[in-house]
């Protein structure tokens, strides 16, 4: 057996060994998920609604995060609330997902969105088709020099929840209900900061901003109570859970492949190792190249001529060389085929400094010996070089 065959057998045995070992490992060991409690600071840095979630949990309200794709594939019950604060999550609202959310609200669900895009008067759109369909326009309020600044907070209240609540929205942004379809709203000094629409049996609530519920703002004024009252305002539905939809990081392609096809990954990895190992063993120490003195062109032509003469292929080779010489001559002399043979010999003699007799033998004579054949081939090579 040659060396290449031995490499193949060894590589195949190694692949089978690794595959068998991987199969044994995956069938005898079980993947277990363990939860570790991180520091409050790190958890708050990764979740800007952590304080709001903790506050709601103290009042018996469950909270959970989902991605937009996960939400649409498995919509929650209609007695729960869905809050979509992130701009990137809102951008993933395709037409199909918008229809799903609209149907879910019509069945009794409560959707809370944040208007992120400012209304463009020229395009007559904000870029958010979902909110544009409800006639919601977000605008930026600029305070002119000398004009009074908007109030730092707004006082509002929910029916059946006691005293007024102080809420501090960003005063420079406000909304307009262009179709006047909202049945409830919270208005500031320059415009609306909350609009609520009836969609079938459900609700759509739109906020001008959601900073009031972030970790840094939830403890100020009455923001926490305001959030709680907004979510549970419809007490007849018995709201028990809030879903916060964020643009959660999607697993990488390698993670998905390992999860669904671990054996393929193992075999592919072993195969790469075997290929690298086999390629490495094919290369030994560098060979010392013995640079011999190169032969001259005449020596090469002489050796080539002898070989073709001995193989009885001299006539075919000579005919091909002469046709190539004629093609070169035609490029140099446009009327080559119209002039006589004598004129051709004269023209070639002037260009090559060879005698007309030698040129005539080169173009027309059929050699009878090996030496004559080699001489004609050398002369044709010289003519091609000259032309």
User: Mean pLDDT: which of 67-71, 77-81, 160-164 is highest?
Assistant: 77-81
**Residue whose C-alpha is closest to residue 223's, from 308, 298, 276, 156:** 156
pLDDT band at 140 (very low <50, low <70, confident <90, very high): confident
Q: What is the pLDDT of residue 87?
A: 66
Packing angle, helices 314-332 and 341-352, rounded to 10:
80
Packing angle, helices 370-386 and 341-352, rounded to 10:
70
pLDDT tens per residue, range 229-263: 888 865 445 667 888 887 655 556 677 677 777 88
Summarize the confidence of residues 85-98 as an average pLDDT.
69
d(CA 190, CA 76) in angstroms, rounded, equals: 36
| Predicted structure pTM score | 0.52
Summarize the confidence of residues 132-153 as an average pLDDT.
80
Residue 280: CB atoms within 10 Å: 8
Report the number of secondary-structure helices (H) and strands (E) in the chain: 15, 11
Q: What is the pLDDT of residue 354?
A: 80
d(CA 81, CA 202) in angstroms, rounded, equals: 10
d(CA 314, CA 331) in angstroms, rounded, equals: 26
- The residue behind tokens 């996960």 is 70
Q: What is the pLDDT of residue 252?
A: 63
pLDDT tens per residue, range 63-74: 887 776 667 777
Return phi, psi of residue 251, to 5°: -55, 145
DSSP state string for 242-306 = EEEE--PPPPPHHHHHHHH-HHHHHHHHHHHHHHHHHHHHT--SPPPP--PPPPPHHHHHHHHHH
Q: Where are the alpha helices (DSSP H) in the chain?
A: 3-28, 40-46, 50-58, 68-73, 87-91, 95-106, 129-132, 223-231, 253-260, 262-281, 297-310, 314-332, 341-352, 356-364, 370-386
pLDDT tens per residue, range 120-138: 888 888 878 888 888 888 8
Q: Is the pLDDT of residue 197 over 80?
A: yes
Q: Sign (positive/negative) of CA torsion 86, 88, 94, 96?
A: negative
Percent of the chain with pLDDT strictly greater than 90: 0
d(CA 46, CA 241) in angstroms, rounded, equals: 21
Pick the residue with more confidence: 103 or 349?
103
d(CA 212, CA 227) in angstroms, rounded, equals: 9
pLDDT band at 221 (very low <50, low <70, confident <90, very high): confident
């Amino acid at each position: 057996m040659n060396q290449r065959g031995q490499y193949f057998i060894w590589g195949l045995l190694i692949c089978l060994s690794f595959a068998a070992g991987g199969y044994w490992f995956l069938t005898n060991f079980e993947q277990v998920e363990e939860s570790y409690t991180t520091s409050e600071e790190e958890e708050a840095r990764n979740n800007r609604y952590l304080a709001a979630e903790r506050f709601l949990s103290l009042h018996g309200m469950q909270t959970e995060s989902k991605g937009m794709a996960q939400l649409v594939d498995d919509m929650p019950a209609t007695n729960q609330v869905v809050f979509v604060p992130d701009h990137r999550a809102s951008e993933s609202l395709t037409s199909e997902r918008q229809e799903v959310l609209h149907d879910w609200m019509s069945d009794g669900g409560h959707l809370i969105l944040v208007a992120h895009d400012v209304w463009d008067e020229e395009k007559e759109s904000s870029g958010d088709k979902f909110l544009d369909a409800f006639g919601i326009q977000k605008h930026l309020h600029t305070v002119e020099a000398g004009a009074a600044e908007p109030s730092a907070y707004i006082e509002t209240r929910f029916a059946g929840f006691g005293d007024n609540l102080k809420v501090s929205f960003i005063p420079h942004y406000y909304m307009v209900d262009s179709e006047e379809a909202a049945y409830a709203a919270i208005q500031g000094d320059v415009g609306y900061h909350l609009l609520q629409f009836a969609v079938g049996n459900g609700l759509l609530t739109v906020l001008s901003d959601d900073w009031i519920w972030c970790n840094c703002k939830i403890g100020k004024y009455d923001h926490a109570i305001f959030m709680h009252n907004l979510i549970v305002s419809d007490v007849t539905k018995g709201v028990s859970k809030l879903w916060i939809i964020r643009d959660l990081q999607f697993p990488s392609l390698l993670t998905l492949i390992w999860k669904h096809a671990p054996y393929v990954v193992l075999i592919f990895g072993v195969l790469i190792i075997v290929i690298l190992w086999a390629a490495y063993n094919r290369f030994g120490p560098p060979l010392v190249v013995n640079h011999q003195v190169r032969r001259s062109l005449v020596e090469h032509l002489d050796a080539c001529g002898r070989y073709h003469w001995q193989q009885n292929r001299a006539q075919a080779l000579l005919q091909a060389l002469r046709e190539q010489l004629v093609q070169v001559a035609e490029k140099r002399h446009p009327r080559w085929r119209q002039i006589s043979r004598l004129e051709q010999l004269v023209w070639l003699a002037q260009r090559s400094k060879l005698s007309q007799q030698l040129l005539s033998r080169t173009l027309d004579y059929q050699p009878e010996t090996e030496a004559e054949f080699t001489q004609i081939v050398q002369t044709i090579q010289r003519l091609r070089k000259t032309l």
